[in-house]
Structure 1
C-alpha cells in the first residue's frame, strides 16, 4: 500500500501551503446544515456539480443541536476535547488526478511561482505522478489511476466547531490512498473511526432543559424547606448518532447520555441544601427527589433547599445542573466511556419574609 506522510523539514511548510492553495477545500471546514431534536444533520465538504464525491459526509441523527451547531453538553473533564480534524475519503483516483492536475497547472502558471515555490509544486506533482517520495512517504504512479474504483484518496477535514485554527490544521498529511474495505495505515492516527464519530456526536448532543419542579413554586419563605424534584417522564436518557458512508467505508457511533444526579446551587451563601452537598442522586425509578404532598410539611425533603434570608425586591438565581453519564457504541462492537457531561439552567426564586401580625 502506498501512503503519504509529512514532508521533511525544509520543504514541508512551503509544499503544504501550496497544497492548501491547489486543493482548495481539501481541509474542509464546512458547517453542518439543518437539524433539530430528533432530526438529521450533515457535515460535509460537499460534492461538486459533476457529482464528484468530495469529503465523506458525517450525518447526525437523534438528539442533536439545532442548526447542526455545537450542543449544550459540557464535559466534566477540562482536558477532554472533541477532535479538531480528521482524515476521511476525498476523491477516487481519476477525479483526484483531474483536480490535482488542473489546479497544479494553474498555480505553476501563476505570476511569482518561480524559485522555491515552483520547485515545491513540482515536487508535489512528481509525488502523485512519478512515485517521488520522502523517507517513509512513497509516491504514486499516475495518481494511482490503475486502481480507480478500488479505493479512494483520503484528505483532511477540519472540525468547524474548533475555534483554534492551529488545532484545526493539525491534520497536515498529504492526501493518501486507501483501498476499499481496508483501514488506513496505523500512522494516520486521526483517520476517521467510530470513536471519533462518538466524540462528534457528544459535541453535538442536545440535552433537555433542566428546570426542576419546586414546592413552594417560584415564591418561597425564609426558613421554609423547599422541595425539588425531576420526574422520569421528562428526564430520561438522550442519544445522538454520527455516521459516515463512503465507497468501502460505513462507520457509525451512537453516544448515550444517562442522567445520574442533580446539583442544586441556591444562588446565595445564605441558604442550606438537602442533602448538605446539594447533590441529589437519581432514584431507582429514574426520577430525582420526591414530589411534595400534603402532610409532609414537617419532613426534610430528600432533595431541596432552604433560604435563610429574603431576596428583597429581587430574586435568587437557583442553578440546577444535571450530571450525565456518557458512553458510546459503534461499528464492529467498538465502544467505551466518554467523560461525564453537565448541563444546567438558572431559575429565578423569590424569597419572602414570613409576616407576623400582632394583635
Structure 2
C-alpha cells in the first residue's frame, strides 16, 4: 500500500524522542523493508466501479465524519528490532546529519534495546507484538493525523491494545471507505450541450457504468488476521442547473435509481410533449456564456467483515462533476 507513514524516527526527519511525542515521520508501505522504510501491513484490493477508470474520483463523506487519518498496527519483535537498528545505523552514519537527530534516534533506540525494554522483547517474540502509530501520508498535515501520538508499545498476545484507533475490522472498513474510486458522473442530455429556453432537457445515466463498488482491507500479522469489505451503492442523482433561473424534474432535483440500475429515461422521438422523469428546464438564456450543470451521485455505503457479517452502515458519500450547458433563446419569425 502506498501513502501511509509510520511514526518512528527517521534520518533527517527525526520522529519519536524520549517524550514519546511525534515531530516527524517515515514513509511506510508493507511489513517488509524497502530502503529505510517499513511498509504498512494493511492491504487493499478493489475500488473501481464499472467503466469509471481514471476518469472518476474518491468518495466524499456526507456530514462532518471522515475516515481515520491515523491508526495503530502491530509489528513483530523482529520487524521492530530490524527497523530501529537500521534506522539508528543510517542516522548516525549519515554525512552531515545533525547532532540532535542522532541524539533523538539514539535515545529512542536505548528505550527499546537497553532501557525500559530489553533487546526489543526478542525473547518474548512468541508472546506478543509491538504496536506502532501509522498515518495516511496524503493527510499527514491534518490535525487528525497527529492524534496517534503514543510511542511504540508492547501488547501481549490475546490482549486488546489500550488505545483508540487500534486496527480493528471497523477501522479497516473506514480506511477502505477512503479508497472507494467512483465513476465520472457526467450525464447524458437531450438536447445535448445546447438547449433552448423553456425547453425540457432530458437527463439520464448509463446503467452499465453505475454499479456497486467495493474495497477490501485486510491485515494479517502476529496472529492478528482481520479483514473488512466496504461497498458503495448508488442511490440518487442530484442535478444543480448552475442558475436559479431553472426548473428541475422532479422538483426536488433528486432523481433516484430504478430497479434496472439506471437513472432517468433516455430521450427518444415522440417524447417531446412529455415531462422528463429526470431533467431541467432553463428559464433564461446563458447569453454568450454557459451554465455549469453539476451532477452529484449519492452513494449508500456499508461494510461487513471479520466478526461482522453485516452489512453495517457507514455515512453516505457523494461524488460529482460539472458540464457546460449553453442555453439559447427560441427564435421566432414575424410575417
Match of 1:275 in 2: 250
Deviations 1:101-150 (A, max 9, x none): 6767999999977xxx89x97698356646x4xxxxxxx44432222244
Deviations 1:3-24 (A, max 9, x none): xxxxxxxxxx962368878xxx
- Residues 34-183 of structure 1: pairs in structure 2 closer than 5 A: 43-44=29-30, 46-48=32-34, 54-63=38-47, 71-77=57-63, 79-90=64-75, 92-97=76-81, 100=84, 125=110, 129=114, 132=116, 140-179=117-156, 182=158
Match of 2:192 in 1: 217
Two-structure CA RMSD over aligned residues (Å) = 3.5
Compared CA separation, residues 297 and 174, structure 1 to 2 (3 A): same
Partners of 2:211 and 2:234 within 8 A in 1:
yes
Compared CA separation, residues 309 and 151, structure 1 to 2 (3 A): same
Match of 2:172 in 1: 197
Partners of 1:55 and 1:157 within 8 A in 2:
no
Deviations 1:245-278 (A, max 9, x none): 3231222221111111110111111110011111
TM-score (normalised: structure 2): 0.79
Compared CA separation, residues 82 and 45, structure 1 to 2 (3 A): farther
Distance 1:308 1:284 in 2: 32
Compared CA separation, residues 178 and 297, structure 1 to 2 (3 A): same
Compared CA separation, residues 15 and 45, structure 1 to 2 (3 A): same
How many pairs align? 311
Compared CA separation, residues 189 and 300, structure 1 to 2 (3 A): same
Distance 1:251 1:337 in 2: 19
Q: Which runs of 5+ in 1 are unaligned?
A: 1-12, 22-26, 31-42, 133-139
Structure 1 stretch displaced more, 101-110 or 235-244: 101-110
| SS of the residue 1:161 aligns to | helix
Match of 1:184 in 2: 160
Task: Please state which structure has a larger fraction of its residues in strand.
Answer: 2
Distance 1:64 1:249 in 2: 28
Distance 2:119 2:322 in 1: 61
Partners of 1:104 and 1:125 within 8 A in 2:
no
Match of 1:33 in 2: none
Shift of 1:315: 1.4
Match of 1:320 in 2: 295
Deviations 1:181-215 (A, max 9, x none): x3533x22211112112112111211001111111
Match of 2:8 in 1: none
- Pick from 224, 229, 233 the counterpart of residue 249 of structure 1: 224
Q: Which runs of 5+ in 2 are unaligned?
A: 1-15
| SS of the residue 2:235 aligns to | strand
Distance 1:173 1:342 in 2: 34
Match of 2:269 in 1: 294
